[in-house]
Chains A and B, each alone.
Chain A
Amino acid sequence: MPIRPHEYATLENKLGLKSREGRDRHSWFEWEGNVITRTRRSHGSGELPHSHAIRQQLKLNEEQLREFLACKLYRDDYVAILRDKGLIEPKESS
């Protein structure tokens, strides 16, 4: 699914990504001080040509991406997704 620049900003916000400007806009997700996922978007106002790549780099499937953009999922859900994929260590059971 295509992503527009304002939707990329929504993703940054909902996933709690940090970012910096360079040749492109770079965004990354940190958890407990570690960098877990990263992506980038080119500067420009139109539909981003590499939406598929952004989704892949953030380790999301189409449905998850859609739900983040629709504000149905938030940062905690992203943490759970990354845990399921083994990219974040599982919670210690109490």
Chain B
Amino acid sequence: MSTAPLVEQFPAPPVKHQADEVKPGEGTVNLTLVFGAPPQIVQTLQLGTLRHPALRVIEPFAVSFAMEGENVRACAEEIDEFGFGASYSGALVDLQHAIAELYFTLEEDSERLGPDLARVWSVLQTKIRHRDANQAA
């Protein structure tokens, strides 16, 4: 299981000092500071687990992140589901719970879904499997 952090830490931006050659006591020194791009946080990831004992993800969900006010929104666009939290990890956990709950809800109603929810259910079926009882234990 990967232990890679959800938010990739970037090194400090490079700083380049550039000085003219001057002799002691004469001329001026021009100092140019060149900053790299500002640090960035990860905006998308592939979600491969739902933290649910009965469900196994066999094909990951593409998840994108965006700020919404002071909260973070994690979005799995292909199934039109969202998670929210005060942090990236909080939003992701909320999304995981939401996807698991969505799976069970649509499974229960699978015989009477409108076209859009039938599409969502079809996507969920390609990406999620029930764990058998031994695996879940």
With A34-B112, A35-B117 in contact, is A26–B105 under 8 Å at CB?
A: yes
Q: Is the CB of A35 within 8 A of B112?
A: yes
Cross-chain contact A49 with B84 (CB below 8 angstroms): yes
B109 is an interface residue with CB less than 8 A from chain A: yes
Contact with B along A1-41 (1 / 0, CB 8 A): 00000000000000000000011101000010111111010
Interface of B is mostly: mixed
Question: In the complex, which range does the number of interface residues on chain A fall in?
Answer: 20 to 34
Do A35 and B114 touch across chains, with their CB atoms under 8 A apart?
A: yes
Number of interface residues of B (CB under 8 A): 19
CB distance from B60 to the nearest CB of A (A): 21
A1 to chain B, nearest CB (A): 13
Q: Tell me whether B26 is interfacial, beta carbon within 8 Å.
A: no
| Partner of B68 from A26, A34, A38, A50 at Cβ < 8 Å | A50
Q: How far is the CA of A37 from the CA of B109 in the complex (A)?
A: 12
Please determine whether B82 and A34 come into contact, CB atoms closer than 8 angstroms: no
